[in-house]
Amino acid sequence: MLELGVKLLIAYLLGTLLGSLILGRLRGVDIRSLGSGNARGRPTPCAHRAKLFGFLVLAIDIAKGGGGGVVALAVGNVAAASASIRKFRREWLTVACGFAVIVGHVYPVWFDFRGGKGAATVVGVVAAMDGIAIAAAA
């Protein structure tokens, strides 16, 4: 139970790292003050620089959901009696960590619980859990 709590906390904290706000702060701009006020990858439409910025934010958020959020946290030693129970617990741990990353992205504690919409993070989580589902959706 402690393992689940720790991994969910780590997944949530990983989700709070918003690509748009981090890259925006590196530029010296608060993305939420531009456009609609959402922390998103496309704050200003039609700007050539915004396309590269949006692509980088999209890549960060998908990688956060797929790479770090689900795969790295779900790989661990889950103590159980049989192999089928371990597999069942690992699958639920993966789902729980993926959900925690998405919640962390949408409601980040560091940014007054005003985050992004979470679409790219959901794509990363679903791709990590079942890549065929993303291929079918595309």
pLDDT tens for 8-17 read 888 898 888 8
Evaluate whether 15 touches 34 at the Cβ level (below 8 Å).
Answer: no
pTM assigned to the model: 0.76
Q: What is the pLDDT of residue 138?
A: 72
C-beta atoms surrounding 10 within 10 Å: 18
**Long-range contacts from 22-26, C-beta under 8 angstroms, 24+ separation:** 22/60, 23/53, 23/56, 23/57, 23/60
Q: What is the pLDDT of residue 87?
A: 62
Mean pLDDT of the chain: 74
